[in-house]
Structure 1
């Protein structure tokens, strides 16, 4: 049976980094303790902060990340047989971003899928790609996570004095960024991706993040009369309370699915896994499990430099770790994606085989 191996990654974030000083100038300050808890120093937006003009697009960022990943793998776009895109902020309701990427890459025919599971989506996609490759259905898959969140943030501050922006509306602007990450998965021999897992544990729980507008939840004329056509609502308190519970479950479930002991994992990618508020919450809730304790010093992300970028987070962070030499052949790497909309997690482990690109 062929083994699904990660053979290349790529990442892209638009424009110049936007630091906290710039965010403060357009939306006002956050209390020092809240800013420290956010733990983000900069982020990237596909809009011009001064005008709201779009300088890129979700699919445009996805294509750039895809091309970077294919180049790192030494492959041509024509070799891709399956494209899976995870995004919560598509260019259009239809056609899917996956097909816009397909068109831009010049592929007349290939299998495509799009997942709307936000931060957990790229990890779910890796498990789908693994399954198809092990079944012998395909040889090469392209997994992409792409997010364009800044257009939903712009109505909060454009033509509004910072002093008039409510504190709860400021927090998402300090948190979120745009970008795309891509992973090439290819059939090989030896080691590679292990069995993954995914679960939604917020069946009756209030959504931690709610993106409202542009859908069919209400008549279009009613939406047009709303204060904001698109509104991104973040339950900061709810997310802070339940995210540690979800991450703890994700960690234990992912290790079990991969038949991997925490002590044997060289690295574990968990978005926000090293953030102060997360560790404090885990400790206060009694959730510092043996798995967490065993992985201390080996949990990584790149949140401080990218911002919280939803579907792009896991592939972007992985790309950074691989290209900087952190992740090396022979290591066991656990990837965990989590999503606070309806509390979804996904995890997958990889016995890493790819040499870092020159």
Structure 2
């Protein structure tokens, strides 16, 4: 590859993550909910979701704060400096403000100037969308070192009178440095959306005239989401395998969006994969939406479970309805 030709490939050079200090177990959350007349239990939550704890941000702590911590750890792992970053993509559904983008706020906090910085809004599939966009920009020579971050503070948009949703979500951030490479890293990507399902998972409020119009709190038809999720995740997984000429047997690790242990188990069964090969963090983090895949990835990398040279399948599904998958050699 000459210096004038665009790179052919992109690879993950480093990973990082961040969690708020406050860890809330099911027992602690159910005790708080009981004070407001909402009844649930640790057993009920674990049986239906696999979640045992989640992290919530402190007052005044925003998505950009978590994103910056995760980004710095990813940059350190990749041995790159702020001056080396020439693209920042933040996947989030809980931005710091209406505008500017959380990515621009992160850019400023990291001391980076001049490079493109923008948010991607695909809810829980946001990191897959962001990684796909960054890969395309690197392959065309537009960027060489991209920060792709998923960062969420879902505790700010939860309805704590609705036990079917408020127990599911947590806050956190995960990041990767994606860099130009002469050798294949990202092998194939697959993105989709179907707007006819916008109502089954949404936060339908908006700001108008200084007031919130509609509801600013998350609402979800859990059964409808579950039925759609397993089917589309399987199809996206098979699509990237087909595009790359790989098979299920080539996957060393499945890193799904950490929505619900039942969805992850169902997806693994359809791909004929043992749960021993699925990275699971939902029990400790809850559903952190766009942050869940990079957060799970970094957790497994730092635990030493994921090794260089292994093949990873990343996939997520979220409100929109959006979904997608990325197959890569780590």
The TM-score, its normalising length taken from structure 1, stands at: 0.83
Q: 125-134 or 318-327, which moves further after superposition? A: 125-134
Give the conservation status (yes or no) of the 8 Å contact 2:257–2:316. yes
How has the CA–CA distance of structure 1 residues 221 and 322 changed in structure 2, closer, same or farther, with 3 Å as cutoff?
A: closer
Q: Residue 187 of structure 2 aligns to a residue in which SS? A: coil
* C-alpha distance in 2 between matches for 1:213 and 1:250: 30
From 93, 97, 100, give the equivalent of 1:95: 100
- The answer to whether the 8 Å contact 2:260/2:282 transfers is no
Q: CA separation in 2, counterparts of 1:109 and 1:231? A: 35
Distance 1:297 1:221, change over 3 A: closer
RMSD in angstroms over aligned alpha carbons? 2.2
Instruction: Could you tell me which runs of 5 or more consecutive residues in structure 1 were left unpaired when the two chains were aligned.
Output: 48-53, 158-164, 353-358
Deviation at 1:215, TM superposition (A): 3.8
Measure the CA separation in 2 of the matches of 1:90 and 1:273: 20
What secondary structure does 2:149 align onto? strand
In 1: Cα distance, 2:202 partner to 2:190 partner = 24
- Do the aligned partners of residues 274 and 38 (structure 1) sit closer, same or farther apart at CA in structure 2, a change above 3 Å counting? closer
d(CA) in 2 for partners of 1:3, 1:138: 12
Match of 2:165 in 1: 172
37, 47, 66: which is aligned to 1:36? 47
Residues 17 and 298 in structure 2, CA contact (< 8 A), matched pair in contact too: yes
1:55-74 aligned at under 5 Å gives the runs: 55-74=60-79
SS in 2 for 1:293: coil
Quick check: 1:312 aligned with 2:305?
no
TM-fit CA distance, 1:103: 0.7
Measure, in 2, the Cα distance between the counterparts of 1:348 and 1:20: 32
Of the three residues 179, 184, 190, the one matched with 2:183 is 190
Instruction: Check if 1:230 corresponds to 2:230.
Output: no
The answer to whether the 8 A contact 2:13-2:179 is kept is: yes
Distance 1:106 1:313, change over 3 A: same
What 5-or-longer segments of structure 2 have no aligned partner? 1-6
Q: Verify: 1:126 aligned to 2:118, yes or no.
A: no
Aligned length: 319
Contact 1:84 1:142 in 2 (8 A): yes
1:316-327 equivalences in 2 (<5 Å) = 316-327=295-306
CA contact (8 A) 1:123 1:347 kept: yes
Shift of 1:6: 0.3
1:95-148 superposed Cα distances (whole Å, 9 cap, x missing partner) = 000100111111221011211001111112112222222222221100000111
Q: 2:242 aligns with which of 247, 256, 261?
A: 256
What per-residue deviation string (whole Å, max 9, x for no partner) do you get for residues 225-251 of structure 1?
Answer: x7xx62211212222222222222222
Does residue 18 (structure 1) correspond to residue 24 (structure 2)? The answer is: yes
More deviation, 136-145/188-197? 188-197
Distance 1:301 1:288 in 2: 15
Distance in 2 separating the partners of 1:319 and 1:131: 22
> Counterpart of 2:57 in 1: which secondary structure?
coil
Q: Look up the match of 2:111.
A: 106
TM-score normalised to the size of structure 2? Answer: 0.89
Q: Distance in 2 between matches of 1:4 and 1:179?
A: 25
1:81 aligned residue:
86
2:315 to 331, 336, 353: 336
Distance 1:272 1:80, change over 3 A: closer
Q: Distance in 2 between matches of 1:7 and 1:92?
A: 30
Corresponding residue for residue 303 of structure 1: 282
Residues 1:247 and 2:233 aligned together: yes
Q: Secondary structure at the match of 1:175?
A: coil
Which residue is 1:204 aligned to? 196
Change (3 A) 1:278 1:83: closer
Q: Distance in 2 between matches of 1:310 and 1:106?
A: 27
